[in-house]
Every structure is written in C-alpha cells, then in structure tokens.
Amino acid sequence: MSDEEGLVLEQRIRFCTSKDGTQIAYSTIGSGPPLVKAATWLGHLQFDFDSPVLRHWSRDLARYHSFTRYDDRGCGLSDRNVESSTFENWVEDLEAVVDSLGLEKFALLGLSHGGALSIAYAARHPERVTHLILYGASALGRAKARSSIRDLEELNAMLTLTKVGWGTGNPAYEQLFTSIFMPDGKAEERRWFTELQKKSTTPENAVRFIREFVQINVQDLLPKITVPTLILHSRGDLVLPFDDGRDLATRIPHSHFVPLNSRNHILMEDEEAWKEFLAETRRFLGVSEQTTVDRGDYRSVTQGKELVSLLERTSEIELSKYRVVGSYTRYDEKTRNVLKDLKQKIVAGLQSSNVSKHENYLIWARPGSGKTFFVNQVTETLARPRPKTEETQDSSELKRGNIEYVQLNLAEVEEAEARLILSTSEKSDMPYLFFIDEVDGKSGKSWPYETLLPYLDSSKVTPRVFVLAGSSGHSIAEMKSSMASRPKGADLISRIPDSNQFEIPSMTLGDKILVTLASLRRAGHDTGRDVAEVEKLALYYVATNDRLDSARQLREFALRCLERMPSEEDRLKFDHLFAPGDQANKEFWLGARTAAPQLIDSYLALRD
C-alpha cells in the first residue's frame, strides 16, 4: 500500500519470538511517531491489507504514524499450531513485538478484546505507553459480565455454530456473525468478512479463542492506568455493549469518552463514525489540522498535474502494446521486457527436453504488484485456445493444454497438506508449474524449505518449473538474506541461479490505468460486452484513489463498474464508478471541475 505523497506505506512483514517460542508475524507501515495496535483474533496481515473491511484502518492510521500491527498467535501469518493461547500469552506476544521493534515509548491502540490486552500492558509498562486508545473494548469477558442461564445458553450456541460454520460460507452462520460484527455492512464487505474468517484461523482455534475471551477480567487494573486514555464506543455495538465502554471511562482516571453513532463493531470506511474516530484519535495523538491539510494538498499538486497531462495527451490505448502475458500489462517498457523474459523462461522450462535439472525462479515484489496474477496469466495462456485476435507467439511456446498448475501459499498451508500436494504431483507425467507464494513466510518453522528442497532437485523425467515468490524486506536482496538465515534457507536459494531471480516493481499511475482498462476489456469479452471508450475523468479518479492500491482491488473495482454500465452502452462513464446516490461521486466531480476540467466528458478509446 504505497502512497505517492512521500509517505512510506508499503508493508514490511517480519517475525519475532514470544516468551514460549511462538513465532509472531508483525508489520510496520508509514512513518512518524510509533503507534502499535494490539492483536485481535480476527486478522491476517496480508489479507487485511487488501480487505475493504479493514484496509482503511491501516491506511488512515499510518498516514501520520509508524503504524505496527501483528497477527495473534494461532492466526494469520503467526504460528497456527500453538500449545497455549491464554490472555497471559497474548500480553507476552505484545511485549515481544514491542521489544523486537526496540520501542522505548509509543502510543497503544486496543480494539475489541485487544482493549483488555492493551489495558494489561499499560498497567505493567506505564513508562512506555504515551497514549492509550480503546475502541469497542471491555474490561470483562462475556462470561464474567453476563452470567445468567440465558447468557450461558447463547454462548454455548455461539461456540457450537463457530465450530461447524466458521469460514464455510454457510449463509445462516454468515448472517449471524456479520449481523453482530457489522450489521450495516454492504454485501461486498460481508463477503470479505466471511473470507477473512477462513484466512484468519481454523474453526478449532476460533472456538479456543472465544472460550478465552469470555473469561477476561481486567477490572482491577483500571484504577492503575495513569497514561492519557481515549475511549471510543459505538452506541449500537452488539459485540461489546455501549455500557462496557462507558464503564471503562468511569473507572480509568482522567480518561476521555467519545460515543460514536454506529451499530458496527468494525467501523466501515464510508461511515461518519469512522471520520469521527479518526478526528478524535488524531487530535488525541497531537496531529494538527494543518498537517492534515498540507499532506492532502501535496497529492493534488504533485500527482494531479502529472496525471492530468498524461490523460489529456492520450486519445487511444492499444492494450497489446503494454501486454506482458494474457491480461497482465505494465506501463514501463523496461519492466515489461524483464517480465516478458521471465515468461519466456518459464515457458521454455516447461517444454525443455533436458530434465536433469528443473528450472527454479525467485520473485520479489511488494504486496499488490500482481505477481500472483502474472503467474496465473502465464498458466492460463498456456491452457486456453489462442484467440484469433492474439498474435502468433514464439514457436518455442509449449503446446497449450498440456500443463498442470499448482499454487501453494506457505503462510497459509500446513506441513502435511503441503507434502501431500507436492507428492501427488510426482505421480503424474504431465509438465508441472508450481507457484509457491509467501516463500518467506513461516520464518520460525524448518519444514517449508526442508519440504521444498527434494522437489527442486527432483529427477522426475517430465518438466517441473518452480516459481517462488515473496514480499518481505525492501528488495530481493533483503528477502534472500532473511531466507538464508533460516534452516535450509541457504540451500534453497542455491538452487536458484542469479539469472532466475527477479524483482517486480510497484505499480505506477500508468499501471493503475492499464490494470483498470485491461480488466474492463477482459470482463467485457467474458460477458459479451464491448467496452470501446472510457471517460478520462473515471481513469483520473481510479489513479488518484489510494483505496485502490493493488492490482486485485483495481480488477474487482472494474468489474463492479461494468455491472453499472447500461447494456446498450459501449462507453464507461465517470458516473458508472459509483452506486446511485454515492456522495463521493458528487464530491470528486466538483473538485475535478477545478483540478481537471478538460477530463470531463472526454473519452479515451480502448483497443485490444
């Protein structure tokens, strides 16, 4: 998540070791005074970064701070299989993250059950916490605060439903869970929230966490809190009632309480309550209004002029000129040629008659650069019939349809599953392309590289190509250094020649426009629609919108826009970017009348 205003918003995922040896994944984005968010059980560092439910929390809180968050033990990219997951363990995990960062003083943010965790930390280390912010928090778990027979029956029902319905997409369970956490969430946000369940943790861990949450009791610590404290709570919160937040405010000395007009436990980006939360939090942390204005103006001045000039002088875009493979495009010619070289190497490896040594590749790219989509497009291009509009490709390309594709995310898969998938491929005589994502994940485990090494060296007589990819650090050199420090890491890297190691640059403004156009064109072909022209103001909006900062977000946004375009229309207009009545439409258009009037009602022709 990069920001062109000069703020460093790319995510850097690292690992530290908690007191009992558990590996905890954490990340820091942005720059400025440190702000640390205590973990909540529903989270995944990478998935949260792209999620419309949670990405605005990271983006907006990192705008004026060095913002650190981490995955709870048993969740996300932290160790999943842990022997112990108690409240004391959670406090020790927070201590480990802070110590790993070397922070002497910092502001601490506690959301939901992370509030009680933050209270415990602030009571133990008052000299290190400069500000304490609690949102949707409580001093008591449900079993401690509400212990009637009815309450206990409801709790047992929730535990049973969680065990059988967690992350399954079951409509009944999904409706129950989302109606509690985000009753006013939109359909897309509810879908992402369900997907977040699957990504975050297992049903067994979810039940385990809930059992521990409901037993929390930090009431005795509240009078001991001496640091400046801000408490915010939604009036209609169904997870932790409004009275829980008010109770905290009466017990923590000299705390400041702000009620928010929302029913959501997780505040949504388009809510007024979210804007109020940000304003109150920034005021509490000492972010001046002038700082906010200055940084907002910087984008419109430095980025807007360049973009307006680019769009104004472009009347037509022929996507084939920017195509790397399939629907994957890049604006910069040098980047395009590097990736075309990588594509050809992968294809050549899959058709090679010399199988004494498999072809192995290593890719580093920041999150959102589209590395997964790139490999998927290589595979799709090999597997589908060549369309008549596609130019005849090099004769060395593998015959389409004769390839098996396996995608493994090391941060999400466990050892037994990874070994099963890899061993199954050995039984086939088909050429195989393996995409091993987040190869730099699970840093505290030895099995990932031990498991991969025999397959990178396999003497299987049919072609095997392994593409290993990661995003940690600031470059491929930093990622390799981190990998080499792990068990078998140096051996793994030695199997990948320097000539087979690639960096994929982050997306530029031109790339954001191309991804949007290519996605519209592809979706149009798939649905029998012809997207012939796109209003330049629409592209200006897409390129300057920092909420659309990854290739996946851009593709999904383009699909929603196409759904709003009338069936008889072949032009995508600025209005098609928004649902009817969306206030953002009017606000952006009014600003564009001054900043970029020449882009209104001006169209760019789109060609394959």
* pLDDT (tens digit per residue) in 440-485: 877 667 888 999 998 888 666 678 899 999 887 778 888 888 888 8
Q: What would the mean pLDDT of 111-120 be, rounded to a whole number?
A: 95
Q: Which domains are seen in the chain, by residue range?
A: 141-215 (no CATH), 301-319+508-607 (no CATH), 353-504 (3.40.50.300)
Contacting residues for 346 by C-beta, under 8 A, at least 6 apart: 359, 361, 375, 378, 433, 465, 467
Q: Contact, 443 vs 482, CB < 8 A? A: yes
Q: What would the mean pLDDT of 289-309 be, rounded to a whole number?
A: 54
Binned at pLDDT 50, 70 and 90, residue 53 comes out as confident
Contacting residues for 131 by C-beta, under 8 A, at least 6 apart: 107, 108, 227, 228, 229, 230, 284, 285
**Gap between the Cα atoms of 241 and 146, Å rounded:** 11
Binned at pLDDT 50, 70 and 90, residue 341 comes out as very high
Q: Mean pLDDT check: name the lowest of 119-128, 337-346, 410-419.
A: 410-419
The pLDDT score that the predictor gives to residue 214 is: 83
**Gap between the Cα atoms of 549 and 355, Å rounded:** 40
Q: Which two tokens stand for residue 352?
A: 């090679």
**β-bridge pairing 533-535 and 603-607:** antiparallel
Opening angle at CA 566, ends 330 and 516, nearest 5: 10
Q: Which two tokens stand for residue 36?
A: 């640390």
Q: Mean pLDDT check: name the lowest of 55-64, 210-219, 246-255, 388-397.
A: 388-397
What are the tens digits of pLDDT across the range 522-567? 888 888 888 999 999 999 888 887 667 677 778 888 888 888 999 8
**Gap between the Cα atoms of 170 and 59, Å rounded:** 31
Q: Is 216 left (phi over 0), alpha (psi -120 to 50) or beta?
A: beta
**Gap between the Cα atoms of 594 and 541, Å rounded:** 14
Q: Mean pLDDT check: name the lowest of 230-244, 278-292, 459-473, 573-587.
A: 278-292
The pLDDT score that the predictor gives to residue 119 is: 97
**Gap between the Cα atoms of 367 and 409, Å rounded:** 14
The pLDDT score that the predictor gives to residue 340 is: 93
Task: Please name which of 91, 101, 28, 94 lies closest in space to residue 61, comparing C-alpha atoms.
Answer: 28
Choice between 425 and 86, residue whose per-residue pLDDT is larger: 86
Binned at pLDDT 50, 70 and 90, residue 168 comes out as low
Contacting residues for 582 by C-beta, under 8 A, at least 6 apart: none
- φ/ψ (deg, to 5) at 134: -120, 125
Three-state secondary-structure class, residue 447: helix
Q: Mean pLDDT check: name the lowest of 173-177, 196-200, 343-347.
A: 173-177
User: Burial, 345: exposed, middle or buried (Cβ in 10 Å; 0-12, 13-18, 19+)?
Assistant: middle
**Helix (H) or strand (E) segment spanning residue 317:** strand 316-318
CA 5 to chain centre: 20
The pLDDT score that the predictor gives to residue 356 is: 56
Average pLDDT, the chain: 83
Query: pTM score, two decimals?
Result: 0.57
**Gap between the Cα atoms of 490 and 482, Å rounded:** 10
**Gap between the Cα atoms of 493 and 402, Å rounded:** 29
Q: Contact, 233 vs 150, CB < 8 A? A: no
Count the Cβ atoms, other than its own, within 10 Å of residue 598. 12
Q: What would the mean pLDDT of 126-144 be, rounded to a whole number?
A: 87
Task: Please name which of 10, 82, 1 lies closest in space to residue 41, comparing C-alpha atoms.
Answer: 82
CA distances to 55, 300, 366, 474 from 9, in Å: 12, 18, 11, 12
Opening angle at CA 407, ends 404 and 412, nearest 5: 155
The pLDDT score that the predictor gives to residue 278 is: 93
Find which of 217-231, 307-321, 433-447, 582-596 is predicted with most confidence, using mean pLDDT: 217-231
Q: Mean pLDDT check: name the lowest of 74-88, 119-133, 462-476.
A: 462-476
Percent of the chain with pLDDT over 70: 86
Binned at pLDDT 50, 70 and 90, residue 190 comes out as confident
| DSSP state, residue 577 | G
| DSSP state, residue 82 | -
Residue that the structure tokens 């910069």 belong to:
332
Q: Contact, 306 vs 325, CB < 8 A? A: no
The pLDDT score that the predictor gives to residue 370 is: 83
